[in-house]
């Protein structure tokens, strides 16, 4: 059982909120399933009373939405750090794909939360979703690789769907004789969806 944490000093409520999210992320990572994330379970993981969770997250759904936003922020940071401006557009796109796959492999619980259908419109987001900036990054990177910039959106959707499908299937069917490692898959997808469209 997690030991009881010392109380924050007055005015450190935001720190407690982040610690609750850290604990929720740990529970999600341990179980790989958002159904395992409960306010009482997270409170136990954080070493605090359940009432302390309710001060920051009125419901379990509020906590999961906060994890959802935080997960997309971490994914976006990982993607934005991939590649360098001096690389060719194709190599930058490949680095982006590699960073995406690495996030999915190292943060399976968070990745599942991001793409399990929770991305329905949140009433307080005014039509904008946390993943929009990530999508914009994909599209802008691909736009540099294809001659017709208007095709970047569909190509980005195709590439994301192919990567997500590959990640999900390999995780669900580990015993299947998949051809090549994920690096080889990324090369094939980038070549098929981007390079061939420049011909």
pTM reported for the whole predicted model: 0.83
Residues 9-20 have a mean pLDDT of 75
Residue 93 has pLDDT above 50, yes or no: yes
pLDDT at 197 (0 to 100): 55
- d(C-alpha 147, C-alpha 181), whole Å: 29
Residues 159-175 have a mean pLDDT of 93
Q: What domains are there in the chain, each with its CATH number?
A: 1-58 (1.10.10), 68-198 (1.10.357.10)
pLDDT at 145 (0 to 100): 84
Residue 63 has pLDDT above 70, yes or no: yes
pLDDT at 86 (0 to 100): 82
Residue 71 has pLDDT above 60, yes or no: yes
Residues 53-70 have a mean pLDDT of 90
Residue 151 has pLDDT above 50, yes or no: yes
Give the residue, 128 or 181, on which the prediction is more confident.
181
Grade residue 126 by pLDDT with cuts at 50, 70 and 90. Answer: low
User: Rounded to a whole number, what is the largest CA-CA distance in the chain?
Assistant: 63
Residue 127 has pLDDT above 60, yes or no: no
Residue 171 has pLDDT above 80, yes or no: yes
């Amino acid at each position: 059982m997690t030991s009881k944490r010392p109380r924050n000093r007055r005015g450190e409520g935001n720190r407690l909120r982040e610690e609750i999210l850290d604990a929720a992320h740990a529970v999600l990572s341990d179980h790989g399933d958002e159904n395992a994330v409960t306010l009482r379970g997270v409170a136990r993981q954080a070493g605090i009373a359940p009432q302390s969770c309710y001060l920051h997250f009125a419901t379990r759904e509020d906590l999961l939405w906060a994890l959802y936003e935080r997960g997309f922020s971490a994914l976006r940071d990982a993607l934005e750090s991939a590649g360098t401006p001096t690389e060719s557009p194709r190599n930058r796109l490949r680095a982006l794909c590699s960073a995406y796959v690495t996030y999915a492999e190292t943060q399976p619980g968070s990745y599942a939360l991001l793409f399990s259908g929770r991305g329905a419109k949140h009433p307080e987001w005014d039509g904008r979703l946390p993943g929009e900036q990530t999508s914009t990054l994909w599209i802008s990177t691909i736009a540099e690789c294809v001659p017709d910039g208007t095709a970047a959106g569909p190509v980005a959707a195709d590439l994301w769907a192919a990567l997500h499908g590959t990640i999900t299937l390999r995780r669900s069917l580990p015993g299947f004789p998949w051809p090549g490692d994920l690096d080889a898959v990324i090369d094939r997808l980038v070549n098929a969806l981007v390079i061939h469209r420049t011909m």
